[in-house]
Structure 1
Amino acid sequence: MSFSHSWIEAVPAASVSIVTAFTGIAWWNVPPAMVTAETVLVPAGAFDFEPTGEFVEGGIEIDPGDRPVVFRHPIEIMKFQVTLSDYQRCVSARKCDAPDTRSADGEAPVVGINFLDAEAYADWYSSLTGEEWRLPAPEEWAYVAAERFAGEVFTRAQDPSNPAIAWIRRYEEQILLDREPDPVIHPAGHFGPNSNGVADLGGNVWEWTSGCYTRIEQDSDGNSLGAPYQNCGIRIAEGVHRSYMSNFIRNGKSGGCAVGTPPDHLGFRLVKDAESSSGLARLGRTFAKLMSL
Protein backbone atom coordinates (compact mmCIF):
# COMPACT_ATOMS: atom_id res chain seq x y z
CA MET A 1 0.00 0.00 0.00
CA SER A 2 1.38 3.40 -0.91
CA PHE A 3 0.58 6.77 0.59
CA SER A 4 0.69 10.39 -0.49
CA HIS A 5 2.37 13.31 1.24
CA SER A 6 2.30 13.81 5.00
CA TRP A 7 -0.12 16.19 6.69
CA ILE A 8 2.46 18.91 7.34
CA GLU A 9 3.66 18.72 3.75
CA ALA A 10 0.05 19.14 2.61
CA VAL A 11 -0.29 22.50 4.35
CA PRO A 12 0.74 25.42 2.10
CA ALA A 13 3.76 27.37 3.42
CA ALA A 14 1.79 30.63 3.33
CA SER A 15 -0.95 29.07 5.44
CA VAL A 16 1.57 27.86 8.01
CA SER A 17 3.06 31.36 8.23
CA ILE A 18 -0.34 32.98 8.71
CA VAL A 19 -1.40 30.45 11.34
CA THR A 20 1.92 30.94 13.16
CA ALA A 21 1.35 34.69 13.20
CA PHE A 22 -2.12 34.27 14.67
CA THR A 23 -1.33 31.56 17.22
CA GLY A 24 2.33 31.98 18.09
CA ILE A 25 2.76 28.24 17.46
CA ALA A 26 5.83 27.52 15.35
CA TRP A 27 5.36 25.08 12.47
CA TRP A 28 7.89 22.67 13.98
CA ASN A 29 5.60 22.21 17.02
CA VAL A 30 2.84 20.71 14.86
CA PRO A 31 2.11 17.07 15.90
CA PRO A 32 4.06 14.29 14.13
CA ALA A 33 3.27 13.96 10.44
CA MET A 34 0.35 11.78 9.47
CA VAL A 35 0.24 10.03 6.13
CA THR A 36 -2.92 10.59 4.11
CA ALA A 37 -4.88 7.75 2.61
CA GLU A 38 -4.34 6.68 -0.98
CA THR A 39 -7.36 7.55 -3.07
CA VAL A 40 -8.89 6.65 -6.42
CA LEU A 41 -10.61 9.20 -8.66
CA VAL A 42 -13.60 7.54 -10.30
CA PRO A 43 -14.68 9.49 -13.41
CA ALA A 44 -18.06 11.21 -13.65
CA GLY A 45 -20.79 9.21 -15.32
CA ALA A 46 -24.26 7.72 -15.06
CA PHE A 47 -25.72 4.36 -14.11
CA ASP A 48 -29.00 2.66 -13.18
CA PHE A 49 -29.46 2.31 -9.44
CA GLU A 50 -31.98 0.26 -7.49
CA PRO A 51 -32.94 2.75 -4.78
CA THR A 52 -32.61 2.07 -1.09
CA GLY A 53 -35.53 1.73 1.28
CA GLU A 54 -38.87 0.03 1.36
CA PHE A 55 -41.46 0.74 -1.34
CA VAL A 56 -45.06 -0.19 -0.57
CA GLU A 57 -48.12 -0.27 -2.80
CA GLY A 58 -51.49 -1.24 -1.36
CA GLY A 59 -49.82 -2.56 1.78
CA ILE A 60 -47.53 -4.87 -0.21
CA GLU A 61 -43.81 -4.30 -0.70
CA ILE A 62 -42.89 -3.85 -4.34
CA ASP A 63 -39.76 -3.64 -6.42
CA PRO A 64 -39.44 0.01 -7.57
CA GLY A 65 -37.05 -0.90 -10.37
CA ASP A 66 -33.81 0.80 -11.32
CA ARG A 67 -33.60 4.57 -11.62
CA PRO A 68 -31.01 6.65 -13.48
CA VAL A 69 -28.38 8.43 -11.37
CA VAL A 70 -25.94 10.95 -12.86
CA PHE A 71 -22.65 12.06 -11.31
CA ARG A 72 -21.45 15.27 -12.94
CA HIS A 73 -18.17 15.31 -11.03
CA PRO A 74 -15.61 12.57 -10.32
CA ILE A 75 -15.78 10.76 -6.98
CA GLU A 76 -12.55 10.68 -4.98
CA ILE A 77 -12.66 7.74 -2.59
CA MET A 78 -10.16 5.92 -0.40
CA LYS A 79 -8.67 2.99 -2.28
CA PHE A 80 -8.63 0.85 0.86
CA GLN A 81 -10.89 0.68 3.87
CA VAL A 82 -9.67 2.65 6.89
CA THR A 83 -7.11 0.45 8.65
CA LEU A 84 -6.72 -0.32 12.33
CA SER A 85 -3.54 1.78 12.58
CA ASP A 86 -5.31 4.72 10.87
CA TYR A 87 -8.22 4.48 13.27
CA GLN A 88 -6.02 4.10 16.34
CA ARG A 89 -4.56 7.57 15.65
CA CYS A 90 -8.06 8.96 16.15
CA VAL A 91 -8.43 6.93 19.35
CA SER A 92 -5.07 8.25 20.57
CA ALA A 93 -6.29 11.79 19.86
CA ARG A 94 -9.34 11.02 22.03
CA LYS A 95 -11.70 11.80 19.16
CA CYS A 96 -12.79 8.19 18.52
CA ASP A 97 -13.87 5.30 20.74
CA ALA A 98 -11.80 2.12 20.62
CA PRO A 99 -13.19 -0.44 18.13
CA ASP A 100 -14.52 -3.89 19.01
CA THR A 101 -11.96 -5.92 17.10
CA ARG A 102 -9.92 -9.05 17.76
CA SER A 103 -7.29 -8.19 15.18
CA ALA A 104 -3.90 -6.76 16.09
CA ASP A 105 -2.88 -6.23 12.45
CA GLY A 106 -2.57 -2.49 11.98
CA GLU A 107 -2.58 -2.86 8.18
CA ALA A 108 -5.89 -4.75 8.15
CA PRO A 109 -9.21 -2.89 7.93
CA VAL A 110 -10.54 -1.67 11.24
CA VAL A 111 -13.71 -3.60 12.11
CA GLY A 112 -16.09 -3.58 15.04
CA ILE A 113 -17.07 -0.08 13.97
CA ASN A 114 -20.54 1.40 14.15
CA PHE A 115 -21.91 4.29 12.12
CA LEU A 116 -21.26 6.80 14.90
CA ASP A 117 -17.62 5.68 15.10
CA ALA A 118 -17.20 6.15 11.36
CA GLU A 119 -18.73 9.63 11.55
CA ALA A 120 -16.40 10.58 14.42
CA TYR A 121 -13.38 9.44 12.40
CA ALA A 122 -14.53 11.41 9.35
CA ASP A 123 -14.82 14.57 11.46
CA TRP A 124 -11.39 14.06 13.03
CA TYR A 125 -9.72 13.20 9.73
CA SER A 126 -11.28 16.24 8.05
CA SER A 127 -9.99 18.50 10.82
CA LEU A 128 -6.53 16.97 10.61
CA THR A 129 -6.14 17.17 6.84
CA GLY A 130 -7.92 20.47 6.25
CA GLU A 131 -10.24 18.79 3.75
CA GLU A 132 -13.82 17.57 3.93
CA TRP A 133 -14.11 13.79 4.25
CA ARG A 134 -17.38 11.93 4.73
CA LEU A 135 -19.06 8.58 4.34
CA PRO A 136 -20.27 7.88 0.80
CA ALA A 137 -23.93 8.05 -0.09
CA PRO A 138 -25.39 4.66 -1.11
CA GLU A 139 -25.54 5.85 -4.73
CA GLU A 140 -21.86 6.82 -4.65
CA TRP A 141 -20.86 3.50 -3.11
CA ALA A 142 -22.82 1.57 -5.74
CA TYR A 143 -21.34 3.58 -8.60
CA VAL A 144 -17.79 3.10 -7.33
CA ALA A 145 -18.37 -0.61 -6.62
CA ALA A 146 -19.43 -1.20 -10.24
CA GLU A 147 -19.49 -4.95 -10.94
CA ARG A 148 -19.13 -5.73 -7.22
CA PHE A 149 -22.34 -3.99 -6.24
CA ALA A 150 -25.14 -6.29 -5.10
CA GLY A 151 -27.65 -3.96 -3.47
CA GLU A 152 -31.07 -5.27 -2.46
CA VAL A 153 -31.49 -9.02 -2.67
CA PHE A 154 -33.75 -10.17 0.14
CA THR A 155 -36.35 -7.47 0.54
CA ARG A 156 -37.87 -6.87 -2.89
CA ALA A 157 -41.24 -8.37 -3.73
CA GLN A 158 -41.86 -10.52 -6.77
CA ASP A 159 -43.01 -8.99 -10.04
CA PRO A 160 -46.10 -10.96 -11.14
CA SER A 161 -45.71 -9.67 -14.68
CA ASN A 162 -42.22 -11.15 -14.96
CA PRO A 163 -41.74 -14.51 -13.17
CA ALA A 164 -38.10 -14.59 -14.30
CA ILE A 165 -37.36 -11.83 -11.75
CA ALA A 166 -38.75 -14.00 -8.96
CA TRP A 167 -36.63 -16.98 -10.07
CA ILE A 168 -33.47 -14.88 -10.17
CA ARG A 169 -34.25 -13.41 -6.75
CA ARG A 170 -34.75 -16.83 -5.20
CA TYR A 171 -31.51 -18.08 -6.78
CA GLU A 172 -29.52 -15.10 -5.48
CA GLU A 173 -31.05 -15.42 -2.02
CA GLN A 174 -30.22 -19.11 -1.83
CA ILE A 175 -26.60 -18.45 -2.75
CA LEU A 176 -26.27 -15.82 -0.03
CA LEU A 177 -28.10 -17.92 2.56
CA ASP A 178 -25.70 -20.80 1.84
CA ARG A 179 -22.67 -18.53 1.99
CA GLU A 180 -20.20 -19.50 4.71
CA PRO A 181 -19.29 -16.68 7.12
CA ASP A 182 -15.71 -15.42 6.83
CA PRO A 183 -14.58 -14.35 10.33
CA VAL A 184 -10.94 -13.79 9.30
CA ILE A 185 -9.86 -10.14 9.19
CA HIS A 186 -7.78 -10.16 6.02
CA PRO A 187 -5.02 -7.62 5.24
CA ALA A 188 -5.95 -4.60 3.16
CA GLY A 189 -5.98 -5.51 -0.53
CA HIS A 190 -6.81 -9.19 0.07
CA PHE A 191 -9.89 -9.12 -2.20
CA GLY A 192 -8.15 -7.08 -4.88
CA PRO A 193 -9.29 -4.03 -6.86
CA ASN A 194 -12.45 -3.79 -8.94
CA SER A 195 -12.71 -2.29 -12.43
CA ASN A 196 -12.42 1.21 -10.92
CA GLY A 197 -9.25 0.34 -9.04
CA VAL A 198 -10.91 0.42 -5.61
CA ALA A 199 -9.85 -2.47 -3.38
CA ASP A 200 -11.82 -4.95 -1.28
CA LEU A 201 -15.34 -3.89 -2.23
CA GLY A 202 -17.78 -6.74 -1.65
CA GLY A 203 -15.31 -8.61 0.56
CA ASN A 204 -16.07 -9.72 4.09
CA VAL A 205 -16.12 -6.16 5.50
CA TRP A 206 -19.44 -4.38 4.93
CA GLU A 207 -19.03 -0.61 4.69
CA TRP A 208 -21.14 2.07 6.33
CA THR A 209 -22.74 4.66 4.06
CA SER A 210 -24.57 7.88 4.95
CA GLY A 211 -27.92 6.47 3.80
CA CYS A 212 -30.91 6.28 6.17
CA TYR A 213 -33.74 3.76 6.14
CA THR A 214 -36.78 5.09 4.28
CA ARG A 215 -40.27 3.78 3.65
CA ILE A 216 -42.21 5.13 0.69
CA GLU A 217 -45.88 4.39 0.00
CA GLN A 218 -47.07 4.91 -3.55
CA ASP A 219 -50.09 4.36 -5.74
CA SER A 220 -50.38 2.07 -8.76
CA ASP A 221 -48.99 4.82 -11.00
CA GLY A 222 -45.82 5.11 -8.92
CA ASN A 223 -46.77 8.42 -7.29
CA SER A 224 -45.75 8.89 -3.66
CA LEU A 225 -48.56 9.03 -1.11
CA GLY A 226 -47.52 11.60 1.45
CA ALA A 227 -44.00 12.31 2.66
CA PRO A 228 -41.57 9.37 2.88
CA TYR A 229 -40.92 8.01 6.37
CA GLN A 230 -37.22 8.28 7.25
CA ASN A 231 -35.38 6.76 10.21
CA CYS A 232 -31.73 7.81 10.47
CA GLY A 233 -31.26 5.68 13.56
CA ILE A 234 -31.00 2.90 10.98
CA ARG A 235 -28.23 3.24 8.43
CA ILE A 236 -27.26 1.39 5.26
CA ALA A 237 -24.18 -0.81 5.07
CA GLU A 238 -23.14 -2.10 1.65
CA GLY A 239 -21.19 -5.26 0.91
CA VAL A 240 -22.01 -8.75 -0.35
CA HIS A 241 -25.58 -7.54 -0.02
CA ARG A 242 -27.25 -4.43 1.40
CA SER A 243 -27.94 -4.41 5.15
CA TYR A 244 -29.98 -2.02 7.25
CA MET A 245 -28.26 -1.66 10.61
CA SER A 246 -28.94 0.30 13.80
CA ASN A 247 -26.36 3.09 13.89
CA PHE A 248 -24.88 1.90 17.21
CA ILE A 249 -24.33 -1.74 16.13
CA ARG A 250 -20.67 -2.78 15.82
CA ASN A 251 -21.22 -6.48 15.20
CA GLY A 252 -23.79 -7.38 12.56
CA LYS A 253 -24.34 -10.80 14.13
CA SER A 254 -25.47 -9.20 17.39
CA GLY A 255 -28.70 -7.87 15.95
CA GLY A 256 -29.69 -4.54 14.48
CA CYS A 257 -31.76 -4.51 11.32
CA ALA A 258 -29.64 -6.69 9.06
CA VAL A 259 -31.59 -8.43 6.30
CA GLY A 260 -30.54 -11.88 5.19
CA THR A 261 -27.18 -13.20 6.35
CA PRO A 262 -25.58 -10.70 8.75
CA PRO A 263 -22.36 -8.90 7.79
CA ASP A 264 -19.14 -10.68 8.74
CA HIS A 265 -17.58 -7.37 9.80
CA LEU A 266 -18.47 -3.68 9.78
CA GLY A 267 -15.91 -1.10 8.62
CA PHE A 268 -15.77 1.92 6.34
CA ARG A 269 -13.94 4.11 3.86
CA LEU A 270 -14.41 7.81 3.10
CA VAL A 271 -14.91 10.06 0.09
CA LYS A 272 -13.48 13.56 -0.26
CA ASP A 273 -15.53 16.56 -1.32
CA ALA A 274 -13.73 18.28 -4.19
CA GLU A 275 -14.63 21.81 -3.13
CA SER A 276 -13.16 21.23 0.35
CA SER A 277 -9.60 21.42 -0.96
CA SER A 278 -9.84 25.16 -1.67
CA GLY A 279 -7.20 27.34 -0.05
CA LEU A 280 -9.58 29.10 2.38
CA ALA A 281 -11.18 25.84 3.51
CA ARG A 282 -7.80 24.24 4.10
CA LEU A 283 -6.51 27.29 5.95
CA GLY A 284 -9.61 27.39 8.15
CA ARG A 285 -9.29 23.78 9.17
CA THR A 286 -5.54 24.12 9.72
CA PHE A 287 -6.13 27.14 11.96
CA ALA A 288 -8.81 25.26 13.94
CA LYS A 289 -6.49 22.28 14.32
CA LEU A 290 -3.61 24.33 15.70
CA MET A 291 -5.86 26.36 17.98
CA SER A 292 -7.04 23.10 19.59
CA LEU A 293 -3.52 22.08 20.63
Structure 2
Amino acid sequence: MLSVHANRSVSALSLMLPGVLLLGLAGALALRTGIVPQPGVVSVASPETVLIEPRAFSYRQAGEFFKAGFAVDAPMLEREAAQALTITRYQISTAEYDRCVADGACPARESKMPSSSDMPATGVSYDDATGYAVWLSQHSDAVWSLPSDEQLAFAAGSKFPDDALGVDPDSKNPALRWLADYQREAARKASREPAPQPFGYFGENEYGLADFAGNVWEWTTTCNRRVNLGASGEVIDSVESCGIYIATGKHRAPLSAFVREPKGGGCSVGTPPDNVGFRLVRDERWIARLFFTFRQARL
Protein backbone atom coordinates (compact mmCIF):
# COMPACT_ATOMS: atom_id res chain seq x y z
CA MET A 1 0.00 0.00 0.00
CA LEU A 2 2.85 2.34 0.84
CA SER A 3 4.40 1.70 -2.56
CA VAL A 4 1.11 2.46 -4.35
CA HIS A 5 0.65 5.67 -2.35
CA ALA A 6 4.22 6.74 -3.11
CA ASN A 7 3.74 6.03 -6.79
CA ARG A 8 0.58 8.13 -6.81
CA SER A 9 2.41 11.00 -5.07
CA VAL A 10 5.25 10.86 -7.58
CA SER A 11 2.73 10.78 -10.43
CA ALA A 12 0.83 13.80 -9.07
CA LEU A 13 4.09 15.68 -8.57
CA SER A 14 5.20 14.94 -12.12
CA LEU A 15 1.93 16.36 -13.42
CA MET A 16 2.14 19.49 -11.27
CA LEU A 17 5.80 20.27 -11.87
CA PRO A 18 5.49 21.47 -15.51
CA GLY A 19 2.63 23.77 -14.52
CA VAL A 20 4.58 25.22 -11.59
CA LEU A 21 7.63 25.79 -13.79
CA LEU A 22 5.46 27.39 -16.49
CA LEU A 23 3.87 29.75 -13.98
CA GLY A 24 7.27 30.66 -12.62
CA LEU A 25 8.62 31.33 -16.10
CA ALA A 26 5.57 33.43 -17.00
CA GLY A 27 5.95 35.44 -13.81
CA ALA A 28 9.64 36.09 -14.43
CA LEU A 29 8.93 37.07 -18.04
CA ALA A 30 6.10 39.37 -16.98
CA LEU A 31 8.29 41.13 -14.43
CA ARG A 32 11.20 41.46 -16.81
CA THR A 33 9.25 42.74 -19.81
CA GLY A 34 6.66 44.95 -18.20
CA ILE A 35 3.35 43.09 -17.90
CA VAL A 36 3.86 43.49 -14.17
CA PRO A 37 5.26 46.98 -13.43
CA GLN A 38 8.76 47.00 -12.03
CA PRO A 39 9.77 49.22 -9.12
CA GLY A 40 11.32 52.50 -10.22
CA VAL A 41 9.57 52.74 -13.64
CA VAL A 42 8.20 56.27 -13.98
CA SER A 43 4.52 56.44 -14.90
CA VAL A 44 3.53 58.78 -17.75
CA ALA A 45 0.02 60.12 -18.29
CA SER A 46 -1.64 58.96 -21.48
CA PRO A 47 -2.40 61.57 -24.17
CA GLU A 48 -5.94 62.87 -24.64
CA THR A 49 -7.86 60.70 -27.10
CA VAL A 50 -11.05 60.62 -29.15
CA LEU A 51 -13.12 57.53 -29.88
CA ILE A 52 -14.11 57.04 -33.50
CA GLU A 53 -17.22 54.86 -33.60
CA PRO A 54 -17.57 52.05 -36.18
CA ARG A 55 -18.97 53.06 -39.58
CA ALA A 56 -18.66 52.49 -43.30
CA PHE A 57 -16.25 54.79 -45.14
CA SER A 58 -14.55 55.26 -48.50
CA TYR A 59 -10.80 54.93 -48.76
CA ARG A 60 -8.52 55.54 -51.73
CA GLN A 61 -5.53 53.25 -51.41
CA ALA A 62 -2.04 54.63 -50.83
CA GLY A 63 0.75 53.99 -53.31
CA GLU A 64 1.67 54.43 -56.95
CA PHE A 65 -0.69 52.66 -59.36
CA PHE A 66 -0.11 51.93 -63.04
CA LYS A 67 -2.25 50.51 -65.80
CA ALA A 68 -0.81 49.52 -69.19
CA GLY A 69 2.33 51.43 -68.27
CA PHE A 70 0.52 54.70 -67.44
CA ALA A 71 0.13 56.18 -63.97
CA VAL A 72 -3.50 56.07 -62.80
CA ASP A 73 -5.45 57.05 -59.70
CA ALA A 74 -5.48 54.48 -56.91
CA PRO A 75 -8.72 52.48 -56.56
CA MET A 76 -11.38 53.77 -54.19
CA LEU A 77 -12.45 51.10 -51.72
CA GLU A 78 -15.56 50.86 -49.57
CA ARG A 79 -14.64 49.82 -46.04
CA GLU A 80 -16.73 48.73 -43.07
CA ALA A 81 -14.97 49.41 -39.77
CA ALA A 82 -16.41 46.89 -37.33
CA GLN A 83 -14.61 48.23 -34.26
CA ALA A 84 -14.10 51.66 -32.73
CA LEU A 85 -10.71 53.35 -32.95
CA THR A 86 -9.08 55.22 -30.07
CA ILE A 87 -6.65 57.85 -31.38
CA THR A 88 -4.94 60.86 -29.84
CA ARG A 89 -6.98 64.03 -30.29
CA TYR A 90 -3.86 66.06 -31.05
CA GLN A 91 -0.48 65.19 -32.46
CA ILE A 92 2.12 64.28 -29.86
CA SER A 93 3.40 67.52 -28.32
CA THR A 94 6.95 68.78 -28.01
CA ALA A 95 6.72 68.43 -24.23
CA GLU A 96 5.50 64.83 -24.46
CA TYR A 97 8.22 63.83 -26.90
CA ASP A 98 10.95 65.68 -25.00
CA ARG A 99 10.15 63.70 -21.88
CA CYS A 100 11.19 60.58 -23.80
CA VAL A 101 14.35 62.41 -24.87
CA ALA A 102 15.11 63.33 -21.25
CA ASP A 103 14.65 59.67 -20.30
CA GLY A 104 17.31 58.70 -22.82
CA ALA A 105 14.91 56.65 -24.93
CA CYS A 106 14.36 59.02 -27.88
CA PRO A 107 16.74 61.12 -30.00
CA ALA A 108 16.32 64.89 -29.86
CA ARG A 109 14.02 66.62 -32.32
CA GLU A 110 15.61 68.51 -35.20
CA SER A 111 13.05 71.32 -34.95
CA LYS A 112 13.93 74.28 -32.77
CA MET A 113 10.43 74.58 -31.30
CA PRO A 114 10.66 74.82 -27.47
CA SER A 115 9.01 72.23 -25.24
CA SER A 116 5.33 73.03 -24.84
CA SER A 117 2.20 71.05 -24.08
CA ASP A 118 0.27 72.71 -26.91
CA MET A 119 2.73 72.56 -29.82
CA PRO A 120 3.16 69.52 -32.11
CA ALA A 121 6.50 67.70 -32.05
CA THR A 122 8.03 68.07 -35.51
CA GLY A 123 11.48 67.26 -36.83
CA VAL A 124 11.01 63.59 -35.93
CA SER A 125 11.50 60.59 -38.19
CA TYR A 126 9.41 57.46 -38.52
CA ASP A 127 11.99 55.64 -36.41
CA ASP A 128 11.79 58.37 -33.74
CA ALA A 129 7.98 58.16 -33.68
CA THR A 130 7.89 54.37 -33.33
CA GLY A 131 10.52 54.60 -30.59
CA TYR A 132 8.34 57.07 -28.70
CA ALA A 133 5.32 54.76 -29.04
CA VAL A 134 7.33 51.92 -27.48
CA TRP A 135 8.54 54.17 -24.66
CA LEU A 136 5.03 55.45 -23.93
CA SER A 137 3.69 51.88 -23.92
CA GLN A 138 6.34 50.94 -21.35
CA HIS A 139 5.54 53.91 -19.09
CA SER A 140 1.74 54.19 -19.31
CA ASP A 141 -1.28 51.99 -18.75
CA ALA A 142 -1.89 51.32 -22.46
CA VAL A 143 -0.19 50.03 -25.60
CA TRP A 144 0.35 52.63 -28.34
CA SER A 145 1.42 52.57 -31.99
CA LEU A 146 1.40 54.71 -35.10
CA PRO A 147 -1.81 54.43 -37.14
CA SER A 148 -1.93 52.91 -40.59
CA ASP A 149 -2.90 55.18 -43.47
CA GLU A 150 -6.31 53.49 -43.55
CA GLN A 151 -6.84 54.04 -39.81
CA LEU A 152 -5.97 57.70 -40.27
CA ALA A 153 -8.47 57.93 -43.13
CA PHE A 154 -11.12 56.41 -40.85
CA ALA A 155 -10.38 58.90 -38.08
CA ALA A 156 -9.92 61.96 -40.32
CA GLY A 157 -13.27 61.57 -42.07
CA SER A 158 -14.06 64.50 -44.34
CA LYS A 159 -10.60 66.03 -43.79
CA PHE A 160 -8.76 63.10 -45.35
CA PRO A 161 -7.22 64.06 -48.72
CA ASP A 162 -8.24 62.50 -52.01
CA ASP A 163 -5.13 62.38 -54.18
CA ALA A 164 -7.04 61.46 -57.35
CA LEU A 165 -6.42 63.60 -60.43
CA GLY A 166 -9.61 62.50 -62.14
CA VAL A 167 -7.94 61.59 -65.43
CA ASP A 168 -9.55 58.81 -67.48
CA PRO A 169 -7.57 55.65 -66.54
CA ASP A 170 -7.97 54.33 -70.10
CA SER A 171 -6.53 57.47 -71.68
CA LYS A 172 -3.32 56.94 -73.64
CA ASN A 173 -2.48 60.65 -73.60
CA PRO A 174 0.14 61.28 -70.87
CA ALA A 175 -0.16 65.06 -71.37
CA LEU A 176 -3.54 65.03 -69.62
CA ARG A 177 -2.03 63.58 -66.46
CA TRP A 178 1.03 65.83 -66.62
CA LEU A 179 -1.21 68.90 -66.85
CA ALA A 180 -3.48 67.76 -64.01
CA ASP A 181 -0.48 66.92 -61.84
CA TYR A 182 1.12 70.32 -62.57
CA GLN A 183 -2.07 72.16 -61.61
CA ARG A 184 -2.37 70.18 -58.37
CA GLU A 185 1.25 70.80 -57.35
CA ALA A 186 0.92 74.52 -58.14
CA ALA A 187 -2.17 74.73 -55.91
CA ARG A 188 -0.35 72.94 -53.08
CA LYS A 189 2.56 75.37 -53.18
CA ALA A 190 0.25 78.39 -53.23
CA SER A 191 -1.57 77.34 -50.04
CA ARG A 192 1.44 76.53 -47.85
CA GLU A 193 1.73 77.90 -44.31
CA PRO A 194 5.05 76.52 -43.06
CA ALA A 195 5.30 77.35 -39.34
CA PRO A 196 3.79 74.82 -36.87
CA GLN A 197 0.85 76.26 -34.94
CA PRO A 198 -0.58 75.63 -31.43
CA PHE A 199 -3.06 72.80 -30.96
CA GLY A 200 -6.54 73.69 -32.16
CA TYR A 201 -5.36 76.25 -34.72
CA PHE A 202 -6.61 74.18 -37.66
CA GLY A 203 -9.86 73.14 -35.95
CA GLU A 204 -11.46 69.73 -35.48
CA ASN A 205 -13.20 67.35 -37.83
CA GLU A 206 -16.68 65.92 -37.31
CA TYR A 207 -15.33 63.35 -34.83
CA GLY A 208 -13.28 65.70 -32.66
CA LEU A 209 -9.90 64.89 -34.25
CA ALA A 210 -7.88 68.11 -34.09
CA ASP A 211 -5.52 69.74 -36.58
CA PHE A 212 -5.44 66.99 -39.18
CA ALA A 213 -4.46 68.27 -42.66
CA GLY A 214 -3.05 71.49 -41.18
CA ASN A 215 0.65 71.97 -41.83
CA VAL A 216 1.98 68.94 -39.95
CA TRP A 217 1.95 65.70 -41.93
CA GLU A 218 1.65 62.54 -39.82
CA TRP A 219 3.66 59.32 -39.99
CA THR A 220 1.77 56.09 -40.65
CA THR A 221 2.83 52.43 -40.65
CA THR A 222 1.81 52.05 -44.30
CA CYS A 223 4.69 51.17 -46.61
CA ASN A 224 4.90 52.87 -49.97
CA ARG A 225 4.16 50.49 -52.84
CA ARG A 226 4.03 50.32 -56.61
CA VAL A 227 1.06 48.43 -58.06
CA ASN A 228 0.36 47.32 -61.63
CA LEU A 229 -3.31 46.89 -62.51
CA GLY A 230 -4.87 44.78 -65.24
CA ALA A 231 -7.47 45.86 -67.79
CA SER A 232 -10.32 45.24 -65.30
CA GLY A 233 -8.56 46.92 -62.40
CA GLU A 234 -7.26 43.70 -60.86
CA VAL A 235 -3.83 43.70 -59.22
CA ILE A 236 -1.22 42.04 -61.44
CA ASP A 237 1.73 42.62 -59.15
CA SER A 238 2.65 44.79 -56.19
CA VAL A 239 6.04 45.76 -54.72
CA GLU A 240 6.31 47.29 -51.24
CA SER A 241 9.13 49.55 -50.07
CA CYS A 242 9.06 49.24 -46.31
CA GLY A 243 11.93 51.66 -45.72
CA ILE A 244 9.63 54.34 -47.12
CA TYR A 245 6.41 55.14 -45.26
CA ILE A 246 3.35 57.21 -46.07
CA ALA A 247 3.05 60.51 -44.20
CA THR A 248 -0.43 61.98 -44.54
CA GLY A 249 -1.71 65.53 -44.19
CA LYS A 250 -2.97 67.88 -46.89
CA HIS A 251 -1.77 65.19 -49.27
CA ARG A 252 0.10 61.92 -48.99
CA ALA A 253 3.88 61.95 -49.11
CA PRO A 254 6.17 58.90 -49.20
CA LEU A 255 9.14 59.58 -46.89
CA SER A 256 12.19 57.56 -45.95
CA ALA A 257 12.00 56.30 -42.37
CA PHE A 258 14.98 58.39 -41.27
CA VAL A 259 13.74 61.76 -42.63
CA ARG A 260 13.10 64.40 -39.95
CA GLU A 261 12.88 67.56 -42.05
CA PRO A 262 10.96 66.76 -45.26
CA LYS A 263 11.59 70.15 -46.87
CA GLY A 264 15.27 69.25 -46.96
CA GLY A 265 14.59 66.19 -49.13
CA GLY A 266 13.22 62.67 -48.78
CA CYS A 267 9.86 63.02 -50.48
CA SER A 268 9.91 60.80 -53.54
CA VAL A 269 7.48 62.83 -55.66
CA GLY A 270 5.57 66.09 -55.54
CA THR A 271 5.49 68.95 -53.05
CA PRO A 272 7.18 67.98 -49.77
CA PRO A 273 5.36 68.37 -46.44
CA ASP A 274 5.94 71.55 -44.46
CA ASN A 275 6.56 69.55 -41.28
CA VAL A 276 6.26 65.96 -40.14
CA GLY A 277 5.04 64.76 -36.75
CA PHE A 278 2.73 62.02 -35.51
CA ARG A 279 -0.22 60.94 -33.43
CA LEU A 280 -0.87 57.51 -31.91
CA VAL A 281 -3.62 54.92 -31.67
CA ARG A 282 -4.34 52.95 -28.51
CA ASP A 283 -4.70 49.18 -28.71
CA GLU A 284 -7.91 48.31 -26.83
CA ARG A 285 -7.56 44.54 -27.07
CA TRP A 286 -7.35 42.79 -23.68
CA ILE A 287 -4.32 40.86 -24.90
CA ALA A 288 -2.51 43.94 -26.25
CA ARG A 289 -0.03 44.16 -23.38
CA LEU A 290 0.95 40.51 -23.78
CA PHE A 291 1.53 40.91 -27.53
CA PHE A 292 3.56 44.05 -26.91
CA THR A 293 5.66 42.28 -24.30
CA PHE A 294 6.42 39.34 -26.57
CA ARG A 295 7.38 41.67 -29.43
CA GLN A 296 9.77 43.58 -27.18
CA ALA A 297 11.25 40.32 -25.93
CA ARG A 298 11.46 39.10 -29.55
CA LEU A 299 9.65 35.88 -28.67
Render the CA deviation track for 1:113-146: whole Å, top value 9, x for unaligned.
1101011011111111242211111111112111
- Determine which of 110, 113, 116 is the counterpart of 1:106: 116
Deviation at 1:281, TM superposition (A): 5.3
- Other-structure match for 1:178: 190
* Aligned residue type for 1:203: G
> Is residue 2:79 matched to residue 1:53?
no
> Is residue 2:88 matched to residue 1:88?
no
Render the CA deviation track for 1:242-274: whole Å, top value 9, x for unaligned.
111111111111111243221111100000111
Structure 1 vs Structure 2 CA RMSD? 3.2
Q: Which runs of 5+ in 1 are unaligned?
A: 1-17
Render the CA deviation track for 1:29-88: whole Å, top value 9, x for unaligned.
545542211100000111111111111111111124311122100010000100011011
Aligned length: 261
* Aligned residue type for 1:60: F
Q: 1:217 to 1:32 in 2, by over 3 A?
A: closer
Q: Distance in 2 between matches of 1:116 and 1:160?
A: 36
Q: Distance in 2 between matches of 1:28 and 1:66?
A: 47
Larger Rg: 2
Are 1:130 and 1:283, in contact at CA under 8 Å, matched by a contact in 2? no
* Aligned residue type for 1:264: D
- Other-structure match for 1:148: 159
- Other-structure match for 1:228: 238
Are 1:128 and 1:285, in contact at CA under 8 Å, matched by a contact in 2? no
Note the 1:200-219 alignment, pairs <5 A. Answer: 200-219=211-230
The TM-score, its normalising length taken from structure 2, stands at 0.77
* Aligned residue type for 1:234: I
Deviation at 1:179, TM superposition (A): 1.9
Are 1:127 and 1:285, in contact at CA under 8 Å, matched by a contact in 2? no
The TM-score, its normalising length taken from structure 1, stands at 0.78
- Other-structure match for 1:97: 107
- Other-structure match for 2:271: 261
* Aligned residue type for 2:191: R
Deviation at 1:160, TM superposition (A): 6.0
- Other-structure match for 1:122: 133
Q: 1:57 to 1:161 in 2, by over 3 A?
A: closer
Bigger mean CA offset, 210-219 vs 31-40: 31-40
Determine helix, strand or coil for the equivalent of 1:40: strand
> Is residue 2:242 matched to residue 1:242?
no
Determine helix, strand or coil for the equivalent of 2:135: helix
Note the 1:281-292 alignment, pairs <5 A. Answer: 282=289
Q: Distance in 2 between matches of 1:160 and 1:284?
A: 43
Q: Which runs of 5+ in 2 are unaligned?
A: 1-26
